[in-house]
């Protein structure tokens, strides 16, 4: 990162004794879809307050152009090699998001039958799907094989045996790669680190060669690749390089044993800037990996999720109650931890910016430090803490970086309907998921009947 970029990063936030000030205009300068026009926040060319009038709050809003821009950055950065970008469906599984990426030529990374069904419903091709996950069931494997899945990322010997059994019963050959755990520290939150030896994912690096040899002797297994995924929200390239070195070592060992692969899958995990993080760019990421990947002569798979959709989305919420106290000021909004659990679960710090800029900026007399909290009966129900904002009841706030692991991790805790979702493209906007109804919350439940 250049010195000028460092200065820009530092200017986004100001830490004071009272709390953290996030400069909305400096922040949005780094976000592809958001900008202020005449003091009003816009997603692409649409005023977010107009979206609130149409769809109410809480509401997730995504930018079509922002999604496609990051996807294209991946394809262009790795254009010198055969490659497949498999979007990680778990990050944001809305059919409209999947459909946009499918039309752009993306493949997909899934972890369940439900995610595969979503991909197919959105127009994706099963042959461009990799099936990850540690607990694939017989019925999931059967369904994936009948649909023509591109590859299973195998995470254990028992799974390998199960896939062979299912494929034999269907008289099919199952394409597989082994997910190798390289024991590399991803330097990220422990809940989203997946490549250490004490994580549940993958096959230990030192065992991988023997497991590949075992796979080669199974009747209905077709070995096509090798897979590695070390974690999520990585802001440095060094862990990727360290993992690649271990995988390359295995590829050469496999060749010595007569096992030839068609692809190498380096997973996903490239981080994004939520407030003041300074992750490597996609191009820097590519330049660090391309020399070693070029030597291998294999097709390259990647499984990005967060980096494609996080900063393409916001969660819009309304201030319902202002509750200043002697020790804390609470702004109670209509979104809550059931809508966005990342701050409570991962201690994630996400930016909270107003839909309309205060006329006098930070120095207004009514600017105070606020905890942005929901109405759920949990002390852990917060979206941000100690943020310097000028607030009034009825204000609309935008929580940025909410396009990934936002709606997909939402719940109905406290019997709260989940939010609506909206897509924006240029000056157009469209509802892509209706807000849940209260009646819908218990529509599938039945009262106990005494005989």
Closest to 268 in 3D by CA, of 109, 446, 33, 440: 109
How many whole angstroms separate alpha carbon 112 and alpha carbon 106?
18
How many whole angstroms separate alpha carbon 308 and alpha carbon 93?
12
Cα separations (Å) of 56 from 51, 103, 274, 316, 396?
A: 7, 30, 25, 9, 10
CB 231 within 8 A of CB 185: no
CB 153 within 8 A of CB 131: yes
How many whole angstroms separate alpha carbon 418 and alpha carbon 22?
28
Closest to 410 in 3D by CA, of 448, 431, 436: 436
How many whole angstroms separate alpha carbon 346 and alpha carbon 245?
29
Peptide bond just before 58 cis, omega within 30 deg: yes
How many whole angstroms separate alpha carbon 70 and alpha carbon 282?
9
How many whole angstroms separate alpha carbon 412 and alpha carbon 87?
26
CB 265 within 8 A of CB 153: yes
How many whole angstroms separate alpha carbon 103 and alpha carbon 111?
21
Establish whether 151 is a catalytic residue: no
**Angle (deg, nearest 10), helices 95-103 and 64-77:** 40
Q: Which long-range contacts (C-beta less than 8 Å, at least 24 apart) are formed by 428-432?
A: 428/46, 429/46, 429/51, 429/54, 429/61, 430/96, 431/55, 432/62, 432/94, 432/95, 432/96, 432/97
Catalytic residue among 59, 86, 151, 377: 377
432 burial type by CB count under 10 A (0-12 exposed, 13-18 middle, 19+ buried): middle
Collect all residues with Cβ–Cβ distance below 8 Å to 334 and sequence separation of at least 6.
Answer: 57, 58, 317, 318, 320, 374, 375
Q: Which residues are catalytic?
A: 377
């Amino acid at each position: 990162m250049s010195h000028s970029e460092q200065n820009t990063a530092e200017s986004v936030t100001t830490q004071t004794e009272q709390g953290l000030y996030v400069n909305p205009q400096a922040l949005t300068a780094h976000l592809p879809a958001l900008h202020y026009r005449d003091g009003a926040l816009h997603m692409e060319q649409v005023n977010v307050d107009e979206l609130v009038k149409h769809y109410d709050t809480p509401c997730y809003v995504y930018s079509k152009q922002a999604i496609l821009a990051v996807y294209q950055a991946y394809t262009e950065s790795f254009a010198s090699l055969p490659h497949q970008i498999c979007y990680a469906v778990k990050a944001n599984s809305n059919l409209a998001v999947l459909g946009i990426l499918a039309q752009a030529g993306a493949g997909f990374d899934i972890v369940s039958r439900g995610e595969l069904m979503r991909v197919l419903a959105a127009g994706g091709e099963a042959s461009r799907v990799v099936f990850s996950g540690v607990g694939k069931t017989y019925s999931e494997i059967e369904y994936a094989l009948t649909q023509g899945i591109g590859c299973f990322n195998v995470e254990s010997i028992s799974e390998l045996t199960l896939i062979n059994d299912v494929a034999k019963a269907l008289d099919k050959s199952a394409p597989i790669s082994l997910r190798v755990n390289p024991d590399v520290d991803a330097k990220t939150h422990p809940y989203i680190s997946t490549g250490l030896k004490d994580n549940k994912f993958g096959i230990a690096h030192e065992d991988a060669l023997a497991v590949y040899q075992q796979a080669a002797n199974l009747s209905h297994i077709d070995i096509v690749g090798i897979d590695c995924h070390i974690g999520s929200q990585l802001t440095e390239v060094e862990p990727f390089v360290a993992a690649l070195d271990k995988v390359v070592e295995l590829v050469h060992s496999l060749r010595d044993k007569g096992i030839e692969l068609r692809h190498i899958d380096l997973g996903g995990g490239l981080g994004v800037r939520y407030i003041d993080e300074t992750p490597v760019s996609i191009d820097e990421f590519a330049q660090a990996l391309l020399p070693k990947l070029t030597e291998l002569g294999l097709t390259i798979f990647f499984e990005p999720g967060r980096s494609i959709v996080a900063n393409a989305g916001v969660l819009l919420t309304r201030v319902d109650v202002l509750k200043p106290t002697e020790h804390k000021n609470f702004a109670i909004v209509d979104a809550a931890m059931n809508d966005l659990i990342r701050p409570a679960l991962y201690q994630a710090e996400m930016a909270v910016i107003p839909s309309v800029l205060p006329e006098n900026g930070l120095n207004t007399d009514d600017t105070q430090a606020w905890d942005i909290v929901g109405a759920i009966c949990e002390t852990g129900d917060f979206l941000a803490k100690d943020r310097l904002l000028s607030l009034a009841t009825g204000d609309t706030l935008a929580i940025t970086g909410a396009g990934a692991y936002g709606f997909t991790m939402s719940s109905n805790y406290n019997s709260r309907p989940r939010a609506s979702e909206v897509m924006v493209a240029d000056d157009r906007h469209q509802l892509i998921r209706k807000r849940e109804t209260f009646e819908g919350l218990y529509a599938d439940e039945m009262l106990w009947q005494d005989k």
